[in-house]
Structure 1
Amino acid sequence: MTLHAALSKNFDESMLRNVGIAIVGSLLLTLSAKVSIPFYPVPLTLQTFVVIGLGLALGPTLGLAAVGLYLMQGAFGLPVFAGTPEKGIGLAYMAGPTGGYLLGYLFAAFAAGLLAKRGWDRNVFGAFAAALVGGVVLYLPGLLWLGSLFGWDKPILEWGLYPFVLGDLTKAALAAAVFPAAWRFLKARGIG
């Protein structure tokens, strides 16, 4: 059971309600892309935290829908991605160096959602592990795309992985704090 399922027990699951939740999730993802926090060695956005968090909170299907809607908004030229509109918009932006990571968002939300359905988000270690799995799943298409785009003779890991590891470990620790705490909060109120 996910947080969304626990909170929705007493509500009628309607398509309109789920579309609304997906829209709110995509807007949250847009906001997370626009906030940059000074961090070492590169500035930190909360996009990956929100992507994985949407999967953990909403489950695989609705988390995937929220991320998919976000990507569709970007494909249609809305400035939802980090660095847009300054670095371009639409499909041209998505075909650039971050394109594989954007695709990876779908896999990460889905994987985190599957793990949440199995209860991984209910304790600190499980939530941390689920966030790490989501991150690994996100990086695979990202690094493959970078290598395809620039060539495997280039320092792909130095460009697209190593600078982000510390930030992603920090975000996994944040997930490990937030999601089990949310479950404890619900349990204390007799929900879930």
Structure 2
Amino acid sequence: MTLFDTISTKRRSSTLAMNLLLVLAGSLLMIIATKVQVPFYPVPMSMQTLVAIGLGLALGPVRGTAAVLLYLAQGAGGLPVFAGTPQQGIGFAYMMGPTGGYLLGFALAAFVAGLFARFGFDRNPVTAMGAALVAGGVVYLPGLAWLGLFTGYGETLLAAGLYPFLLGDVVKALLAALIFPAVWKWVKGGEAR
């Protein structure tokens, strides 16, 4: 059972309208996360991966992935929701660029994180960290595969699309490991009252 499932069961509020609202809100969180850059070493860090993982952990694999897919659909439709848009292009032209695979990876990350949440991995800091690291790592599968079409496959690909982001991904996984078990503790504490 995911965090949202637990909360909605307590409040008896799991309806189609609520699910649609959650998916819409999740897509808006993805947009905000895309536009916020945190100064970091060696490259500035966006919060997209953390939000994609968080959507999966909080909403589960279906709703979390749906939120990311709605975000992608908004971008495909020409809305300037991606990093660097509208300056670097919009719509499918942007999605077919070097970072297109990473965009798909966010949906995969939400799905994987949601699966981990179904098995309770988000309730303990150690397992939440592991779940967030694995889910964040999934982003690189389509990301690097697609980016390699532009850079070639080899050290150049890893230097451009993997190495600069690893430290930031560890920090994001650590944040997920701190946030989600704490929220679970707070939700479970509310049940005792």
Same fold, judged at TM 0.5 (above): yes
What number of residue pairs does the alignment pair up? 191
Match of 1:172 in 2: 173
Per-residue deviation at 1:80? 0.7
Distance 1:123 1:154, change over 3 A: closer
**In 1, Cα distance between equivalents of 2:155 and 2:90:** 26
TM-score, structure 1 normalization: 0.96
Other structure's SS at 1:8 match: helix
* Structure 1 position 104 matched with structure 2 position 97: no
| Code of the aligned partner of 1:91 | F
> Match of 1:86?
87
RMSD: 1.1
Secondary structure at the aligned position of 1:80 is classed as coil
Question: Which structure 2 residues correspond to residues 125-136 of structure 1 after superposition, within 5 A?
Answer: 125-136=126-137
Instruction: Structure 2: give runs of 5+ residues left out of the alignment.
Output: none
**TM-score normalised per structure 2:** 0.96
Find the counterpart in structure 1 of residue 30 from structure 2: 29
Distance 1:149 1:15 in 2: 42
The residue type paired with residue 164 of structure 1 is F
Distance 1:169 1:35 in 2: 18
1:61 and 2:39 correspond = no
Cα displacement (A) at 1:86: 1.1
**How many Å apart are 1:154 and its aligned residue?**
6.0
Q: Is the CA contact (8 Å cut-off) linking 1:55 and 1:113 kept in structure 2?
A: yes
Cα drift, residue 152 of structure 1: 1.8
Equivalent position SS for 1:155:
helix
Regions of 4+ moved over 4 Å: none
**Residue pair 1:68, 1:106 contacting (<8 A) in 2 also:** yes
**Residues 1:3 and 2:40 aligned together:** no
Unaligned 5+ runs, structure 1: none
How far apart, in 1, do the equivalents of 2:121 and 2:180 lie?
10
Matched to 1:93, the amino acid is Y
Name the aligned partner's letter for residue 18 of structure 1. Answer: N
CA distance in structure 1 between the partners assigned to 2:39 and 2:106 by the alignment: 22
Offset, 1:136: 1.2
Q: How much has 1:13 moved relative to structure 2?
A: 2.5
Q: Residue type matched to 2:32 in 1?
A: L
